[in-house]
């Protein structure tokens, strides 16, 4: 009986947490890096102390939102990499998946990865001394490590494959992040043009690398 009650309470808490994250998403979509705990609490119909009780502080809320969006992005990237197509097409699809994600929700992207806009309004650290910029680097590193695992699984890189896959994984993520950030701000070309240009940059040794597994490979 006690076990069942605890399970019900855990499910209720998880459901409430999801609801609060959805409310936070709505505020971030509206306010971007300037999203405040007060605004998120108001959107969720609760007081700020209750919001703190669930997430600790803005840093805790940021971490939860970051995991939510990073998990979704990684799932989409893996699906693009595993699609039944030629390797060049899958490389382009993966690049396009990332760029489409930041294009579709630019305010979320800026909240997670580009916090400088918040400082333009005079808020250098957000609430409670929280500096979003201190937390964006781990997100990029997680993406880099995840992509490195995918590369090592699907491409035969020969000796020192683990190290080379990590170099490529972090390098590709860095390239996507920097190029995507520039493109999102200036829009100097279409997304398709940017995808083709980045794929051309990647297409040297990757095109010649052998497949680790049978079939079309990565």
Distance CA 199, CA 94 (A): 10
Is residue 113 within 8 A of residue 143, CB to CB? The reply is no
Look at residue 177 in the predicted model and tell me its pLDDT: 92
Question: DSSP class of residue 124?
Answer: S
Query: What's the pLDDT tens digit per position in 117-139?
Result: 554 444 444 454 445 555 567 78
Look at residue 6 in the predicted model and tell me its pLDDT: 63
Look at residue 99 in the predicted model and tell me its pLDDT: 96
Low-confidence ranges of the chain (pLDDT < 50): 116, 119-126, 128-130, 213
Is residue 151 within 8 A of residue 73, CB to CB? The reply is no
Look at residue 84 in the predicted model and tell me its pLDDT: 87
Look at residue 169 in the predicted model and tell me its pLDDT: 92
Would you state the structure tokens that stand for residue 15, as one six-digit string?
Answer: 């459901």
Distance CA 113, CA 136 (A): 5
Sequence ranges of the domains in the chain: 66-211
Look at residue 147 in the predicted model and tell me its pLDDT: 87
Spell out the CATH class of 66-211.
Answer: mainly alpha
Q: Which single residue is written with the structure tokens 């947490």?
A: 17
Is residue 19 within 8 A of residue 95, CB to CB? The reply is no
């Amino acid at each position: 009986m006690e076990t069942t009650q605890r399970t019900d309470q855990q499910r209720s808490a998880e459901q409430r947490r999801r609801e609060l994250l959805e409310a936070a998403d709505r505020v971030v979509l509206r306010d971007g890096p300037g999203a405040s705990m007060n605004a998120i609490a108001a959107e969720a119909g609760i007081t700020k102390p209750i919001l703190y009780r669930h997430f600790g502080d803005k840093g805790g809320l940021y971490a939860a939102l970051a995991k939510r969006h990073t998990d979704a992005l990684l799932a989409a990237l893996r699906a693009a990499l595993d699609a039944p197509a030629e390797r060049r097409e899958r490389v382009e699809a993966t690049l396009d998946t990332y760029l489409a994600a930041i294009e579709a929700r630019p305010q979320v992207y800026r909240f997670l990865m580009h916090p400088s806009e918040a400082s333009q309004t005079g808020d250098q650290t957000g609430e409670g001394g929280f500096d979003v910029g201190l937390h964006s680097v781990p997100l990029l590193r997680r993406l880099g490590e995840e992509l490195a695992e995918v590369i090592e699984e699907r491409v035969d890189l020969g000796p020192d494959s683990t190290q080379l896959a990590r170099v490529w994984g972090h390098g590709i993520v860095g390239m996507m992040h920097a190029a995507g950030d520039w493109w999102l701000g200036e829009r100097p070309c279409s997304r398709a043009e940017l995808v083709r240009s980045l794929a051309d940059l990647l297409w040297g040794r990757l095109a010649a690398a052998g497949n680790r597994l049978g079939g079309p490979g990565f």
